[in-house]
A and B are shown apart, each in its own frame.
Chain A
Amino acid sequence: MSIAFKPEETFRGDYSYRNSDAAILRFPFPFPEDKYMYSVNIEPHVRSGPSDVYLRPFDVDEHYIAECRDRAITLERDPGRCQVLPHMMLAQWDTLELLMENLSADYPEHFTLTKEGDDFGSRWTWTNRPLGIEQSFIFGDAATLPCEPFEYITRQAQGDFAICDQRDDNLYMDAGMVTSQADWSLEFDVGMSFMEWHGPVPLAHQTGVFERALKYLLMLRLGQPVRRLNWTMTINPRLDTSPESFPEWGTDRASVTPDNAGQKVHLRVELQTLWRLPRSNAILFPIRCYLASLDDLARVPKWGARLHRVLSTLPPQLVEYKGLTRYLPAALAWLSRHDDGRALPVGTEAGVSTLS
């Protein structure tokens, strides 16, 4: 399939990022009901679902080139956004293989992988046409790539990536490429166990969500990836909302008014998938980020109304944890104009094929 990339758009400075109508219609809207609370919302990552973003295991969209460039800018300023603990080399190759195989199979027009063999020691050639890359290398020999394999391939993918090592009946975040995170620090969290890195999340520990999720993930099987959606809000279409750069984007939260909320306030949805890796037995955790402004979302009447209801009933602990406190009233004032109080059908589907 052919994708009309928008290579010039930006996620900082003049924030020229925009969604096409098609991108809005395929947005993975995360709220099936009028209220939201944490749950173990994990399901098989199959090639279908209520949005087209589920059609391929690693979704590539019109923002691909611009997102890869934004990642490169962030890494240039802060190389610590990519970290791999020394025992994770096998998992690095697992990740490179998984991404190259899926991208080349699902987007043959844009990516090609030629292999002389499947095992370590084989010569592989990778072609990435959108980014203009052609690279021959020996699978398993990091010296034949311009950087280590995990960094190499995740510089050419949308979304953040973490790798969790599995040992002692636990998962440890022992590698990551994290340049578009919802306010968490890889430098701080690297090496942490599952419960440790989820430590700051409110309300969910008490209901046993993390214990059940960890048990489930420890049993994750090769070839049977799973997924869930997570969400927050971001002011301006900014990918790098890290705590490291908080001094740069924090004041944006104070800039929202009921009049500009439609353009400024974005729903940030993370499609999180989890993959057992074949050689290392680690788990790859891609966090694919989608951004849509309130303006975008309100063009789907069901979504505009539902978002208003979810945000107006959000528990105060979640408002605080997600950093919405300062601008939520302005966002709600804007959204209330798009909610006439009618009953909305359960489910996340847009329910329309053209935008209003």
Chain B
Amino acid sequence: MLHSDIKSRPTYRALEPDLAAAGHLLVVETATLQPGGLANLADTFAPVAAKLHTWLVGEAQAVPGLGKPWQLPAVADVVDALACATRGYGIGDRLYVQGTEPFLWSVATAAAIVGFGPGQIQLCHAGSLQRRVWCTHCHGFTEQVTTNVVPCAGCGRHLLVRDHFSRRLGAFMGVMVDAEAPGEIPAIEEVFA
């Protein structure tokens, strides 16, 4: 479980089915699963199994108890699937997401567009601490960042990854690290492995 004293970063908790809900959608980034992780999820969601849909994103072996999981290759497919969902989601439905932080926010952002309110979504962090970084200067995104300083995928500036998180962007802030003294770039270290 991810513990953090960054005030703007949400608190992530273990998933827990809301027994009163009408429908349940579980979305899991399978690359972040520990051995036996799917079986644990099946136990957790057993009380609502009859009303559970599971989307497994990435490679995975299905296990009993998660219904007939739908396999999706990548998070982009989750975003597409939510956008195209014809069954519709109502206020009684719940969304549960487990994976890395950028994965959680890609799914949560797409779900918000089709009507999921914050109170209907549970997010559980799993796997790498890698961050999505938003460049304050060009407003581009850099994905899978594991270092304290990273070259921006948009403008190439070296960005210091600040401990400040925006849910709307699903990303941490990146600010040019050598703006005061061009070329003075601190040692780059792996800090979000």
A residues in contact (CB < 8 Å) with B: 80, 185, 187-192, 195-200, 205, 243-244, 246-247, 250-251, 253-254, 326
Contacts and interface: CB of A to CB of B under 8 A. Distances in A.
B176 A250 contact: yes
Contact of A192 (B8, B136, B176, B181): B8
B137 A251 contact: no
A318 B176 CA distance: 20
B152 to A, nearest CB: 11
A191 B164 CA distance: 14
A187 B171 CA distance: 12
Q: State the 4 A-B residue pairs at the shortest beta-carbon distance, nearest first.
A: A250-B179, A199-B8, A199-B7, A243-B136
The secondary-structure label for the interface of chain B is loop
A164 to B, nearest CB: 15
A189 B167 CA distance: 9
B164 A200 contact: yes
Nearest to B173: A188
Nearest to A242: B136
Interface in B5-58: 6-9
Interface string B131-148: 000101101000000000
A246 B137 contact: yes
A60 B74 CA distance: 55
B180 A254 contact: yes
Contacts of A246: 136-137, 175-176, 179
B64 interface: no
Contacts of A198: 7
27 contacts: A185-B136, A187-B139, A188-B134, A188-B136, A190-B168, A191-B167, A191-B168, A195-B7, A197-B8, A199-B6, A199-B8, A199-B165, A200-B163, A243-B136, A243-B175, A244-B136, A246-B137, A246-B175, A247-B137, A247-B157, A251-B179, A251-B180, A251-B181, A251-B182, A253-B180, A254-B180, A326-B181
B61 to A, nearest CB: 39
Contacts of B68: none
B79 interface: no
Contacts of B179: 246-247, 250-251
Contacts of A205: 7
Given A191-B167, A195-B8, 15 more contacts: A188-B164, A188-B169, A192-B167, A196-B165, A197-B8, A198-B7, A199-B6, A199-B164, A199-B165, A200-B7, A205-B7, A243-B136, A246-B175, A246-B179, A251-B179
Contacts of A197: 8
Contacts of A200: 7-8, 162-164
A103 to B, nearest CB: 33
Interface string B171-188: 001011001111000000
Interface string B107-140: 0000000000000000000000000001011010
A191 B165 CA distance: 12
Nearest to A201: B7
Contacts of B8: 192, 195-197, 199-200
A80 B134 CA distance: 15
B71 to A, nearest CB: 33
A82 to B, nearest CB: 15
B176 A188 contact: no
A253 B169 CA distance: 30
B8 to A, nearest CB: 3
A96 B164 CA distance: 32
